[in-house]
Copies of this chain bind each other. A is one copy, B any other.
Amino acid sequence: MNTTLVSELYEQIDAMPIVDIHTHVNWKAPTARHIGDILSYHYYTELVNSAAFREDPFPFDDPQQLTRDIVGSLHHIRHTVQYDWLMSISHEFLGIAPWEWTPENANAIMARSVEVMGSDSWFEELIAQAGIERVYLTNQYDDDLEGLDSSFFTPCLRIEPFVLDILRAQARERMGAVLGRPITTTNDVAALVEQTFRRFMAHGMGYAAISSPAGLRTFAVSDQDAQRILTRAIEGAELDDSDRRTWAAYAMARIADACRAHRRPFHLMIGVNRDVYAHGVPSGTDLFDSVNSMRGYDWLLNAYPDVQFPTAVLADTTGLELVAAAWIRHNVYPSGHWWYANQPTEIARELRRRLDTVPSTKLIGYFSDAYYLEFILPKFRMFKFELAAALAERMERSTIHPNMTSFSLDDALDLAYAMLVENPIQIVGPAH
């Protein structure tokens, strides 16, 4: 690694504004209140639970105790990237150095965090310090969006309720309450989707999104077939896997219809298996399946050539499939590095694959997946460092590669800016 060149590149990339196209930030409470909120992030609770299993749940209601518990176990994960994120938050925002993270200091760290994060101006200070320009949200169809500042936040509609949950009575009831009448027909579903899109559009909608299970397949399903399944669900009949798969394929197409009608992208996040680990912490029970491919999405991607599909994949085994899809399919855009693939080893590989073969205008560099705005900076830094390393390598190669002409610092920075700022705005920029 040419550390001088990587540092030079990193410094300039770090100065670029952050457009974060996927987070779980709550726009009504976007920042942490204290270090307990930060440490309640499942990346910490799950690692501590993994390193030193506890039968009892973490004391989420007692942030002081939670902080003491987590801090007391941090030595197990001091070499991880997740720990590095925490240290960046600590150092950058709280002015607390890594060596101060001792069990004895847990209360002092809490106190300092309340002091900083409890300030009325914290939100403004934080986004200024981190250079965050726009933050995309993850919203349910019935989320309250009144008062949302759409010059900064961009709501995005999570569609799992329509695709996966609707066959359960409880989910339908909640939907019926929003629609104003019971969900009994496919038209009712379409009406709720349309009503939801309109409401989101009024608040500068980003995109529709799903984190889909391994094995999901899309294919043409008639309204009649879908209605039959919905009716049977309403009647309380037992549905089998084939019914569920058929409904899911039907609903994916109806969402794509709405995306087409409202000219909004459909963000695919492919391949999570929910609720796999029986003894996990909250949000720490999901895994993925290495046996999964993008073939299940062929029908959808072909049937909606006028809809844009930014796509993230969870399994490393799907990485080259995504690259190949983005390479030839005009409506597939590789999007960030998701979850278990959101660490340096996978990022480094996927970055090089994408940079070498996919049009530069199609690459969405990164999203943080953050729950609090504080995490955006350290996560983007992790990505930006890998990007700087990849670009430095390319610059170095270009000096001796028989097929390449000079790849200059400016070329590298242009590419980084396209991936981090221009493309996100161009591809998933908010509705006006």
Contact = CB atoms under 8 A, between A and B. Distances in A.
Interface stretch (A27-35, A251-259, A272-280): A272-280
A361 interface: yes
A51 B327 CA distance: 8
A97 B406 CA distance: 12
Copy number of this protein in the oligomer?
3
Nearest to A11: B402
A320 B329 contact: no
Contacts of A324: 287-288, 340
A50 B80 contact: no
Contacts of A273: 295
A76 B361 contact: yes
A355 B397 CA distance: 22
Interface in A395-416: 396-397, 399-405, 407, 411, 415
A323 B319 CA distance: 17
Contacts of A319: 316
A378 interface: yes
Given A287-B321, A359-B47, A330 B279 contact: yes
A118 interface: no
Query: 4 tightest CB-CB pairs across the interface, nearest first?
Result: A51-B359, A53-B330, A84-B403, A278-B302
Interface string A40-62: 00000011011111000000000
A278 B303 CA distance: 8
Given A1-B396, A14-B402, A49-B328, 9 more contacts: A77-B360, A80-B355, A97-B405, A277-B301, A277-B328, A287-B324, A320-B346, A344-B352, A345-B356
B50 A359 contact: yes
A372 interface: no
A138 interface: no
A42 B407 CA distance: 25
A321 B289 CA distance: 7
